[in-house]
Amino acid sequence: MEVFTEKEKRILTVTKSPSDELSLTNCLVINEDLFKNLKTKYGDELFTKISFNNGTKFIYKICSHDKISPELIGLSYIQREWTQITLQCKADVSICVCTKYAVISKINLKIDFLYKKSKIMESFNTDLMAKKFNECFRDLPFTKGQKLIFKLTDKMPLLQLVVDKIECIENSASTFGLLKMNSLVFFDKADDSEINLTGKYRGAVTMTTTSILNPDWDFSKMGVGGLDKEFSVIFRRAFVSRVYPPELVEQLGLQHVKGILLYGPPGTGKTLMARQIGKMLNASEPKIVNGPEILNKFVGESEKNIRVLFEDAEADQKKYGVNSPLHMIIFDEIDAICKQRGTATGSTGVADTVVNQLLSKIDGVEQLNNILIIGMTNRKDLIDEALLRPGRLEVQMEINLPNEEGRLQILNIHTSKLQEHKKLHSDVDLKQISVQIKNYSGAEIEGLVRAATTNAMNKLVSQGQGKVEINPNAVESLLVTKTDFDVAASDIKPAFGSGTDDADHYLDIGIFIYGNPISSIIEDGELLIKQAQSGSLVSPVSLLLQGPAGSGKTALAAHLAYKLSNFPFVKVVSPENMIGYSESSKCQAIKKIFDDAYKSELSCIIVDDIERLLEYVPIGPRFSNVVLQTLIVLLKKKARKGHKLLIIATCNSSDVLRSLQVLDCFNATIYVPAIRDVIYMTNILRELNVFNNDELREIESSMKQKSFNVSLKKLISLAEMAKQSDDSKVIKFICLLDQQCAKTAFHPILDDRSVFDLKHVPFLGQYF
C-alpha cells in the first residue's frame, strides 16, 4: 500500500518562496485560497508529490501564503538546488494525503554552515538542535539526500542540513519517512566542515546494532578451530559493548575494552585468532606489528614508532568522537617490547621508555575509545604488570591445547581440501585420529596432516639412475590413508606430550613382576591413577615410591606413568638432566616442567631420586634448601581448575624426606623392597633367560638355606657377569651373590622395613 494517495493533479510554475520564514519551514508554498479549497476537500494534512521533466519525484508538505498567485508554487533556494529545478519551470504537482505512516525511528543529518563567511567558533549543542529540529519539522516527510535550511536561534547563523541516513520502524533500510515526536535525530559534521558539535546526539549514528561485526564471519571457515569457548569469553568481554549504538554507550558512561592479551603454548592459534578477529570486525585495516620491529637503535625512534601506530585513531577520535571507526593494532610477541621495567640490560633504557609510551597512548591523559589492541605472547610473566591492569590489556585469555572436540575441528579444517577433492581414503576416521593425537597443538595437527599427505605422495615417487620420476597414471589415484597418518604421528611429536624417548630410557628392560610385592604395588598405583583421572576432591594426587637403591623404583614409576596411566603429558624431573645446574637454574627447570603440566588436562610428573635432586648427603647433613622449598611448594600447589595432575616420586629413604618435611606432601607412600626370597630371585632369573631350568634349580637349592638381601639392579648385574663364564656360570653367580650379601650385611638401610629410623644406626645416629 502506498504511503501517499494522489487526489488531483495540477501544472504550476516554480517561483521563489515568498518569505525567509517560509523558507525555514521546509514546505512548498501555494496560494492561500487554493490551499483552503484543498483542505475543505481532503482534510488538514496535505502533501505534494512534485515531478519535473526528468521524471524525478519529490515529496513535500504544503503551506499557503496570500501573496502568491494560484498558478504558482514557491520553492526556496535550497529546495530548488536539491531538486535541480530553475525558476519559471513548469512542474507536475500531485495533491496527496497520507494514508499510511512510514515513521522515522532514526535520522542522521550532515551539518555545515549555509554560508562559509558566517562560520563561528562557538560550539553547537546537538541535544538542543535535536529538540528544535523535532519542533520545527514534526510530521514532515524526509528523503535520503534531501537538503534543507535550519536555524537554531536568532543569534546563530543559518545551517545547511543534508539527510544522510534514515531508519524507519517498519524498514531499517528505508530512504523515506515521516518525522514524529519520538524520532531520534543525530548530527554529524559534513566533509571538510569546521563546525564544532557537542552533546550526545553528535556523530554518525550506528543504524544497525550489529554493524561492528562482519555478517559473514565463521571461525571454522577462517581456519580457526577448537577455540569456541575462548572466543565466546572474548566476545562477551571485549565486543558486546561495541554492538550497541554509540549514543547508548555514551549515556551509560561506558569505556570500551581497549586491549586483549592472548597467551599460551606455542602453536595453539594465538596469532591466527588475532588476525581473524581483525577480519571478523567491521573496522579499519588492522596494523600488525612484530614486537622487535618497534625497536630502533636511534634515540627516540622506538617511541616514535609507537606514536605512529596511534596517529590514525587519534585523528578519527577528534573528527568523529564516539562514532569513530574502530582501529585495531595487533602486537605479535609483545613481550619483546613490554618487558617489566627495570629488568632490561644496557644503559639506554629504551625498553622502559617504549613501555611508558605505549601505556600513555592506550590509557593516558587523552584517552582513546576507538582502539583495540591485541597482544600475543608465550611468556606472560615477562610483561610489565602495568600493562595488564583494567583499561589496558584488560581481557587476558589463555589459549590452551585443544581438547578432543577442538582437535577434530582443526583436523576438518586442514583436511577440507582433501575431502573436497576426494583424496582422503575411506579408512581414515578423523574422530578416531582426534582421540589418538592427545596434546597436539593446532600447528602440530597442521604438521601432522602435511606429513601424512607427503607420505602418500612419496609412495608414487620412484628413484633411479640419478633422477626422480612420478607415474602420471597413478597421480589420479593418490589417496591419503590411515597408514599415512600413523607414520606421520610417529614423526610429529607433541611438544607437551608423553616423551617416548624417556619411556624407552627408563623401560629399556621392562619391569619384573616377580611376586606379590610388585603386583600389589602396581594395583595400588592403578588405584591412584584412577583417582587422579576421575577424582574431584584431591588434586594433585601424589605417590612416593620408597626403597633401597636399585630396587626398581624408577622403572615402576615409568611403568605406571607411561604404560598404565595413558596420560597425554608425562615428564621426568631427573637429577641426571640437571648436572652442573646452579640452584636457581635447577628451580627454574623444575618449575617449568610443573607449569607445562598445567597446559594439559591430564598430566603426570615423575620426580626421580629426590635425595640426589636435593643434593642430600648424610654427613653434615647437607642439602639445597632453595631446591627443597621449591619442591615442597610445587608438590603442595593445588592443581588449576579443569586440570588433573599425578605426581610419582622416588627416594631411597622415607626417613630422610620425613626429616626434611617432604614426606607429608605425598598422599601415599609405597615401599619397594629388595630381593630376599629365593622364589622371587628364581622368577627374576627365569625372565632374564640367563640360566636354563636345571641351573635355576641348582641355584635355588644352593641359596635356599642362606640369608641374602640384594637389590633388583644388583641381581641383574650379577647374572650378566656370571653369564660371561660359560662353563661355571652357576658357581660364579652363587659366589658373586655370597660376596654381595657379605658386603651389605653391615648396611641396614637395605632392610625392607617400611619404617626405619636412622637414629638407630650407630655410625649415623650422631647426626640426628
Q: Give the model's pLDDT for residue 208.
A: 38
For residue 470 the three cell numbers come to 612420478
d(CA 703, CA 678): 7
Count other C-beta atoms under 10 Å from residue 759's C-beta.
12
For residue 496 the three cell numbers come to 607437551
CATH code, domain with 41:
2.40.40.20
Same-domain pairing of 451 and 599: no
Of 506, 570, 478, nearest to 532 by C-alpha is 570
Long-range pairs for 360-366 at CB < 8 Å and ≥24 separation? 361/306, 361/307, 361/309, 361/310, 362/258, 362/259, 362/391, 362/392, 363/258, 363/391, 363/392, 366/314
- Which residues are designated catalytic? 553-554, 608-609, 636, 713
Same-domain pairing of 511 and 470: no
Q: Identify the domain containing residue 73 by its residue range.
A: 4-98
The one-letter code for the residue type at 759 is K
Same-domain pairing of 433 and 409: yes
d(CA 93, CA 31): 14
Q: Is there a contact between 493 and 443 (Cβ–Cβ < 8 Å)? A: no
Instruction: Annotate 423-432 with b (16+ C-beta within 10 A) or e (fewer).
Output: ebeeebebee
CATH code, domain with 684:
1.10.8
Q: Is there a contact between 302 and 293 (Cβ–Cβ < 8 Å)? A: no
Count other C-beta atoms under 10 Å from residue 730's C-beta.
19
In a domain, 320, yes or no: yes
Q: Give the model's pLDDT for residue 765.
A: 39
Same-domain pairing of 313 and 237: yes
Of 266, 289, 314, nearest to 375 by C-alpha is 289
CATH code, domain with 282:
3.40.50.300
Same-domain pairing of 242 and 387: yes
Q: At what angle do helices 712-723 and 678-688 cross, to 10 degrees?
A: 50
First to last CA, the chain: 102
In a domain, 165, yes or no: yes
Strands 461-464 and 287-290: unpaired
Same-domain pairing of 730 and 642: no
In a domain, 214, yes or no: no
Query: Last residue of a domain, which of 166, 198, 230?
Result: 198
For residue 96 the three cell numbers come to 496527496
215 vs 173, 212, 233, CA distance in Å?
Answer: 16, 9, 19
CATH code, domain with 431:
1.10.8.60
51 vs 163, 164, 176, 582, CA distance in Å?
Answer: 20, 22, 16, 92
Q: List, run by run, the mean pLDDT of 10-residue segments along the chain (768 residues).
A: 75 87 87 86 78 66 87 87 83 79 83 84 82 86 87 86 83 74 83 78 48 56 69 80 73 82 85 76 77 77 86 79 77 84 62 82 76 88 86 86 86 88 89 88 90 88 72 77 90 79 75 89 91 82 91 90 88 90 92 87 90 87 90 89 88 88 90 89 86 85 82 86 81 84 55 40 39
The DSSP line for 667-688 is SEEEE---B--HHHHHHHHHHH
In a domain, 604, yes or no: yes
Please name the residues in contact with 3: beta carbons below 8 A apart, sequence gap of 6 or more: 98, 99, 100, 101, 102, 176
For residue 461 the three cell numbers come to 615417487
Q: Give the model's pLDDT for residue 749.
A: 42
In a domain, 454, yes or no: yes
The residue behind cell 620425613 is 658
Q: Give the model's pLDDT for residue 761.
A: 41
pTM for the model stands at: 0.63
d(CA 268, CA 280): 19
The one-letter code for the residue type at 623 is F
628 vs 56, 307, 571, 574, 584, CA distance in Å?
Answer: 89, 48, 19, 14, 12
Residue ranges of E strands in 285-432: 287-290, 327-332, 371-377, 395-398
Please name the residues in contact with 370: beta carbons below 8 A apart, sequence gap of 6 or more: 313, 316, 317, 320, 324, 325, 326, 327
Of 524, 755, 553, 521, nearest to 654 by C-alpha is 755
Q: Give the model's pLDDT for residue 223.
A: 60
Residue ranges of E strands in 43-157: 47-51, 57-65, 72-75, 90-98, 104-113, 124-125, 141-143, 147-150
d(CA 139, CA 22): 16
285 phi-psi bin (left φ>0, alpha ψ -120 to 50, beta other): beta
d(CA 753, CA 744): 15
**φ, ψ for residue 300 (rounded to 5)?**
85, -15
For residue 59 the three cell numbers come to 515529496
Q: Give the model's pLDDT for residue 204.
A: 47
d(CA 150, CA 160): 6
Same-domain pairing of 69 and 164: no
Query: Last residue of a domain, which of 198, 230, 248?
Result: 198
In a domain, 756, yes or no: no
Cis amide linkage into residue 70, ω under 30° from 0: no
Q: Give the model's pLDDT for residue 86.
A: 82
Please, what sign has the CA dihedral across residues 438, 441, 444, 448? positive
Count other C-beta atoms under 10 Å from residue 449's C-beta.
23
379 vs 10, 395, 579, 587, CA distance in Å?
Answer: 79, 16, 26, 18
Query: Last residue of a domain, which of 98, 117, 144?
Result: 98
Same-domain pairing of 376 and 286: yes
Same-domain pairing of 134 and 192: yes
The number of distinct structural domains making up the chain is 6
d(CA 657, CA 661): 6
Count other C-beta atoms under 10 Å from residue 582's C-beta.
11
In a domain, 754, yes or no: no
Same-domain pairing of 507 and 554: yes
Q: Is there a contact between 631 and 614 (Cβ–Cβ < 8 Å)? A: yes
In a domain, 767, yes or no: no
Same-domain pairing of 328 and 179: no
Q: Is there a contact between 150 and 167 (Cβ–Cβ < 8 Å)? A: no
Q: Is there a contact between 196 and 120 (Cβ–Cβ < 8 Å)? A: no
Helix (H) or strand (E) holding 11: strand 4-16
Same-domain pairing of 114 and 181: yes
